[in-house]
A and B are shown apart, each in its own frame.
Chain A
Amino acid sequence: MICVVSGGSRPGGDGALEELDQLEENDLTEFYRQYLTVAVFVGAALVMVGAMLGIGALLRPTRPQPEKYITYESGSDPFGQFGQQNVRYYLYALLFVIFDVETVFLFPWAIDADHVSQGGLGWLGFIEIAIFTLILIVGLAYLWRKGLLKWA
């Protein structure tokens, strides 16, 4: 538990303050003790992985041969360089962001849109969401121009 200083009366005097310090210290210890479990897990994981890799390194054969380091190409010689491949589905990803992710932001905003008097979002929220939507509309216009909105 995170140390919580009780809101009760705090009688003056050094004795009471010391008592309070003691309480905080105990709570902190308890807090860290819970994290000790995590530390034990991390330690056990490190020891186990280290032991397995270490024993493997001692026992396994090491015969470096140039062919073993060639890219696996089902027996053919690999050719060319690795490069960025043509991403074909980014347009659909863009559509998804516009029509799906947008609603994730639009709905929470819409619920709280007009509660100005109760500390709602008000005009500021409206302007912000308008800017957000405008950015997405630019994307939509781009897709429209690309002809993605046509059924073909």
Chain B
Amino acid sequence: MTSGALRKGPLKPVGELLNYSRKYSLWMFQWGLACCAIEMGAALAGPRYDVMRLGVIPFPASPRQADLIVISGTVTDKMAPAIKRLYEQMPDPKYVISMGSCANCGGPYWDSYSVTKGVDQIIPVDVYVPGCPPRPEAFIQGIVLLQERIQNEDPADRWAGKHWEPIVVPASA
């Protein structure tokens, strides 16, 4: 499929439908690595936030079924290869949300001997959610912004593995 074929011309409705379907059926691979996972859990399963109403299904049985990987918590150098490997095992198109200061840049452990200073050193991040930890609202805003991007992107470009400038959720969220 060539770039732009699904964004204009006769196939445009197909592209729109494809994006719409992908946007509301994000299977999410969870990486709850530290305290951010508690906030993520509140956003996923708590009745107050309930991310499933946005079509995010957080229980794929393996990375091979996942569209979205959420790194929430401290990435250590020991864990990093596993994260990289499992990201690689996800089928394309795939998205990454980095949740919390640790996953974004190392956070309070910026000087640690064992912490990876940001998960973007090993996998390409689509959305950064700042906070220590971010509130569930911030995480959900990250999801919504990602869904906007999915709706507006050219599937063919994403199929080809192109990556865009990452989204940063405003810190006031």
Residues of A whose CB lies within 8 Å of any CB of B are 59-61, 63, 65, 67-68, 70, 72, 74-77
Contact = CB atoms under 8 A, between A and B. Distances in A.
The 7 closest A-B pairs by CB, nearest first: A75-B82, A61-B159, A67-B88, A61-B92, A63-B92, A75-B85, A75-B86
Given A67-B88, A68-B88, A61 B83 contact: no
Contacts of A72: 62-64, 89
B83 A68 contact: no
B161 interface: yes
B91 interface: yes
Contacts, number: 39
B81 interface: yes
Contacts of A65: 88
B89 A68 contact: yes
A74 B83 CA distance: 9
A73 to B, nearest CB: 9
A67 B89 contact: yes
Given A68-B89, A70-B89, A75 B159 contact: no
Contacts of A70: 85, 89
Interface residues of B, number: 21
Given A61-B158, A63-B161, A76 B88 contact: no
B39 to A, nearest CB: 23
Nearest to B62: A72
A81 to B, nearest CB: 20
A61 B88 contact: no
Nearest to B17: A59
A67 B85 contact: yes
A83 to B, nearest CB: 22
Nearest to B156: A61
Interface in B53-67: 62-64
A60 B91 CA distance: 10
Given A63-B92, A68-B89, A76 B159 contact: no
24 contacts: A59-B14, A59-B18, A60-B159, A61-B93, A61-B155, A61-B158, A61-B160, A63-B92, A67-B85, A67-B88, A67-B89, A68-B64, A70-B85, A70-B89, A72-B62, A72-B63, A72-B89, A74-B82, A74-B86, A75-B81, A75-B82, A75-B85, A76-B85, A77-B85
